């Protein structure tokens, strides 16, 4: 097949799939969906090994210019497309078992395909406005999936919050992208060269804050965990939230160093804050959500360079794995015969599950190793690469000190990451069970085992490089144009120190389990919501009491004037022509009708008088 055809098929397939699944009978929806996702993955692989290039289809004319739908197949786009398609496929397989009892599973699969369609559009498009469009669409898919269980009050609130906080970022992105198009005189990313003013670059980056749940718009992501867990794995862990990083990657070459540093600064705050907050979560999914925020902050620390892209990929694999594993744990606990009601997501009630769920334990450890960046995991390379990027950038920059601060933040983040990850693993799988129920031997279904095993496999080092300590000769990185950034050997010591510190903290605090979920900047959203509501009430009151009242009063004044003129007409003018009694009588009869509340007659009077006066005055 020619590339154009494959490409068009790739773009169109998810939308058609969504439509097909929505119309198909219930029984086969899940199976068909998985098959279609498989075809999509195949197409993504076909596109994935093409050389870089661009493809365009004419779309519409505006202001004398032809606007084409322009697509740009870069290496980063190909890599992200592969990530999206693989995880989407595995998540769909997992969901077939996880959501088997849900009667609305067809709707769920429809939404997933809509998401895949929007996400691949976002990844592949070369145009600022198509990019913005796709950006909004992935947000809407996220809304639909969070509120999938729409009877659940907390889920719909979380969905609305996610959409609105995202939209705050979207507005910044909109003007950032418009500013870029305006500044470079083209709407194509591929034709932008040079350095845009810092303000425009920062606006684009601010756009990513909402989507990537970075500081200060982060609180929607933990709430978004109200959605089905496999969907969270795809959207709120591996891919959609990474769109905020991807926009940084797209604009990296032409937004200037100030905007890069802005991105890095936001990332550093989110990395540390997210990792810190992950320690104080009681809910397994919320803990993972804060961990996602933290890891996305790490990618932001890469400032959109290829180091960001690299970590985006490796993180996508192991974070999706963590979510699916957490999902299988929740699924297992949920299906135990409970002697008393039990929150299947509470870390308080877990513990000791290594005996029942050995595979999940193994998976958690492997994926956790990725998070920590331990050698033999792919996370090791990408994390070192980000540190290397910061180190190397500092060498040639006037902002060198700023880079070193970011590097220090990375070190602190690593300690915190190591501690929350070890802690979580400990709380779930080690020690004694705190749930109080007798647990059966876990028999996780193969539809759940298969995707998790594949993700374990994918998160190993062998895919990147055969040398577990060095990615210098990596074929993978060379193929996807991922650069190798080096950092002197002392950094490895710091990394190792962070693992030890993390383990130490875990050991010291192993007995204290958080009772609740602590929200970072939790006041922000209610305050914003209340402000909007308050302003709305004020505006309404102003509208009813002032704007409307003025007009009504003014009209009433006219009625009074009209009554006066009618009175004058009847008593003075009429009286003077009393000779013509018959005419006066008929007029009187008519005038009486005018006195009824039929305002418009008065208005006709006023209206024609003004017209006559005007004609008289003008000529």
Partner 1 sequence: MGNLSYIILLPLIASLVVGFGKLGATYSRLVAIGVIGIQLLLLAKIALVFDTTQVGFQLAESHDWIHLNLGSLGQFVSKYAIGVDGLSLGLILLTGLVSFVALWNSEDIKEKLAGYYALVLLLNASLMGCFLARDMFLFYIFFEFMLLPMYFLIGIWGGPRKNYASLKFFIYTLVGSLFILIVMLGIALAYMDPYETAISLQKLGVNQGFGIEALQSMQTALAAHEIAPNQIVHSFDLQALSDANNCQPNNLFSPQSGFLLGGLSGRAWGFWLLFIGFAIKLPLVPLHTWLPDAHVEAPTPISVLLAGVLLKIGAYGWLRMAIPFFPNEALEASSIMAGLGVLSIIYGAYNALAMSDLKKLVAYSSVSHMGFVLLGIASFTPEGWQGAIFQLLSHGILSSLLFLMVGVLYHRTGNRQIDNFSGLASKMPKYTLISGIAIFASLGLPGFSGFIGEFFSLMGAFTSTHLTPIYAILGSLGILLGAGYLLWTFQKIFLGSYFVRETSWDLPDLSTLELISLFGLGILSIIFGIFPGIIFELSEIFVTNSLNNLFR
Q: Which residues bind partner 1 (CB under 8 A)?
A: 59-64, 129, 132-134, 136-137, 140, 143, 147, 150-151, 153, 156-157, 159-160, 163-164, 167-168, 170-171, 174-175, 178-179, 181-182, 532-533, 535-540, 543, 547-548, 551, 555, 599-600, 603, 607, 610-611, 614-615, 618-619
Cβ contacts of residue 5 below 8 Å, gap of 6+?
none
136 vs 384, beta carbon nearer partner 1: 136
CA contacts within 13 A on the Cβ side of 341: 0
CA distances from 337 to 45, 99, 475 (A): 43, 19, 50
Q: What backbone phi and psi angles, to 5 degrees, belong to 197?
A: -55, 150
CB of 224 to partner 1, least distance (A): 15
CB of 14 to partner 1, least distance (A): 13
573 vs 610, beta carbon nearer partner 1: 610
The two structure tokens encoding residue 77:
């786009």
Is 223:279 a contact under the CB 8 Å cutoff?
no
100 vs 532, beta carbon nearer partner 1: 532
Cβ contacts of residue 442 below 8 Å, gap of 6+?
332, 353, 356, 357, 360
CB of 548 to partner 1, least distance (A): 4
174 vs 271, beta carbon nearer partner 1: 174
State whether residue 240 is helix, strand or coil.
helix
Choose among 619, 589, 590: nearest CA to 605.
590
CB of 409 to partner 1, least distance (A): 31
CA distances from 432 to 169, 424, 512 (A): 44, 14, 14
118 vs 382, beta carbon nearer partner 1: 118
CA 88 from chain centre, in angstroms, equals: 16
CA–CA gap between residue 242 and residue 212 (Å, rounded) = 6
313 vs 602, beta carbon nearer partner 1: 602
538 vs 571, beta carbon nearer partner 1: 538
Q: What backbone phi and psi angles, to 5 degrees, belong to 125?
A: -70, 150
CA–CA gap between residue 212 and residue 30 (Å, rounded) = 29
509 vs 598, beta carbon nearer partner 1: 598
CB of 108 to partner 1, least distance (A): 15
The two structure tokens encoding residue 489:
């050997």
Q: Tokens 């890095």 appear where? A: 264
59 vs 404, beta carbon nearer partner 1: 59
The two structure tokens encoding residue 104:
């609305």
CA–CA gap between residue 481 and residue 80 (Å, rounded) = 13
Q: How many CB atoms lie within 10 A of CB 546?
A: 10
87 vs 180, beta carbon nearer partner 1: 180
**Host H or E run for residue 70:** strand 65-73
Is 181:67 a contact under the CB 8 Å cutoff?
no
170 vs 384, beta carbon nearer partner 1: 170
CB of 15 to partner 1, least distance (A): 10
CA 341 from chain centre, in angstroms, equals: 33
CA–CA gap between residue 257 and residue 166 (Å, rounded) = 25
CB of 213 to partner 1, least distance (A): 17
Give strand pairing partners of 460.
Answer: 377
CB of 124 to partner 1, least distance (A): 15
440 vs 543, beta carbon nearer partner 1: 543
CB of 256 to partner 1, least distance (A): 19
Angle at CA of residue 248, ends 266 and 176, nearest 5°: 90
Choose among 287, 261, 263, 283: nearest CA to 275.
287
160 vs 434, beta carbon nearer partner 1: 160
CB of 538 to partner 1, least distance (A): 8
CB of 612 to partner 1, least distance (A): 11
Choose among 409, 122, 138: nearest CA to 265.
409
State whether residue 65 is helix, strand or coil.
strand
The two structure tokens encoding residue 184:
């470079």
104 vs 355, beta carbon nearer partner 1: 104
CB of 517 to partner 1, least distance (A): 22
CB of 617 to partner 1, least distance (A): 10
> Would you state the torsion angle of the CA atoms of residues 25, 30, 34, 37, taken in this order, to the nearest 10 degrees?
70
CA–CA gap between residue 247 and residue 374 (Å, rounded) = 28
CB of 527 to partner 1, least distance (A): 14
**Host H or E run for residue 176:** helix 153-184
């Amino acid at each position: 097949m020619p590339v154009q055809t494959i490409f068009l098929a790739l773009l169109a397939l998810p939308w058609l799939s969504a439509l097909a699944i929505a119309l198909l009978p219930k029984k086969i929806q899940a199976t068909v969906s998985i098959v279609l996702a498989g075809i999509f993955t195949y197409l993504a692989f076909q596109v994935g090994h093409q050389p870089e290039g661009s493809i365009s289809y004419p779309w519409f004319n505006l202001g004398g210019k032809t606007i084409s739908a322009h697509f740009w197949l870069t290496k980063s786009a190909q890599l992200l497309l592969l990530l999206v398609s693989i995880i989407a496929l595995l998540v769909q397989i997992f969901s077939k078992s996880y959501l088997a009892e849900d009667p609305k599973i067809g709707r769920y699969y429809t939404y997933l395909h809509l998401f895949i369609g929007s996400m691949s559009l976002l990844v592949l498009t070369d145009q600022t406005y198509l990019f913005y469009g796709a950006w909004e669409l992935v947000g809407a898919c996220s809304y639909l999936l969070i509120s999938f269980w729409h009877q659940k009050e907390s889920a719909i609130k979380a969905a609305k919050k996610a959409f609105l906080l995202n939209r705050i970022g979207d507005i910044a992105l909109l003007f950032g992208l418009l500013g870029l198009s305006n500044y470079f005189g083209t709407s194509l990313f591929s034709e932008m060269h040079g350095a845009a003013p810092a303000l425009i670059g920062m606006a684009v980056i601010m756009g990513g804050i909402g989507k990537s749940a970075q500081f200060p718009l982060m609180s929607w992501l933990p709430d978004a965990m109200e959605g089905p867990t496999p969907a969270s794995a795809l959207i709120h862990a591996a891919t959609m939230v990474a769109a905020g990083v991807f926009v940084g990657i797209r604009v990296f070459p032409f937004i200037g160093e100030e905007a890069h540093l802005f991105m890095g600064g936001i990332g550093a705050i989110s990395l540390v804050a997210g990792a810190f907050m992950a320690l104080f979560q009681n809910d397994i999914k919320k803990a993972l959500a804060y961990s996602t925020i933290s890891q996305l902050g790490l990618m932001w620390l890469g400032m959109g360079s290829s180091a960001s892209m690299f970590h985006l990929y490796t993180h996508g694999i192991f974070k999706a794995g963590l979510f699916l594993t957490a999902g299988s744990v929740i699924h297992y606990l949920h299906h135990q015969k409970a002697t008393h009601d039990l929150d299947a997501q509470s870390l308080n009630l877990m513990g000791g599950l290594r005996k029942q769920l050995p595979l999940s334990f193994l998976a958690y450890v492997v994926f956790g190793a990725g998070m920590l960046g331990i050698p033999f995991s792919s996370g090791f390379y990408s994390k070192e690469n980000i540190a290397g990027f910061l180190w190397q950038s500092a060498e040639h920059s006037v902002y060198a000190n700023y880079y070193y601060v970011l590097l220090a933040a990375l070190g602190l983040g690593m300690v915190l990451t190591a501690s929350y990850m070890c802690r979580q693993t400990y709380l779930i799988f080690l020690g004694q069970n705190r749930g109080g129920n007798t647990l059966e031997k876990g028999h996780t279904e193969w539809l759940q085992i298969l995707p998790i095993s594949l993700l374990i496999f994918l998160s190993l080092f062998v895919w990147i490089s055969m040398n577990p300590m060095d990615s210098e000769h990596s074929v993978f990185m060379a193929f996807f144009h991922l650069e190798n950034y080096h950092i002197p050997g002392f950094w490895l010591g710091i990394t190792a120190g962070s693992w030890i510190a993390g383990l130490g903290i875990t050991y010291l605090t192993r007995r204290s389990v958080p009772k609740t979920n602590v929200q970072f900047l939790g006041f922000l959203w209610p305050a914003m919501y209340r402000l909007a509501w308050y302003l709305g009430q004020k505006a309404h009151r102003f509208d009813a009491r002032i704007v409307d009242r003025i007009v009504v009063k003014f009209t009433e004044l006219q009625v009074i004037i009209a009554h006066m003129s009618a009175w004058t007409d009847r008593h003075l003018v009429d009286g003077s022509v009393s000779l013509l009694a018959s005419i006066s009588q008929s007029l009187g009869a008519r005038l009486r009708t005018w006195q009824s509340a039929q305002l418009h007659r008065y208005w006709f009077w006023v209206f024609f008088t003004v017209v006559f006066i005007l004609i008289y005055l003008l000529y």
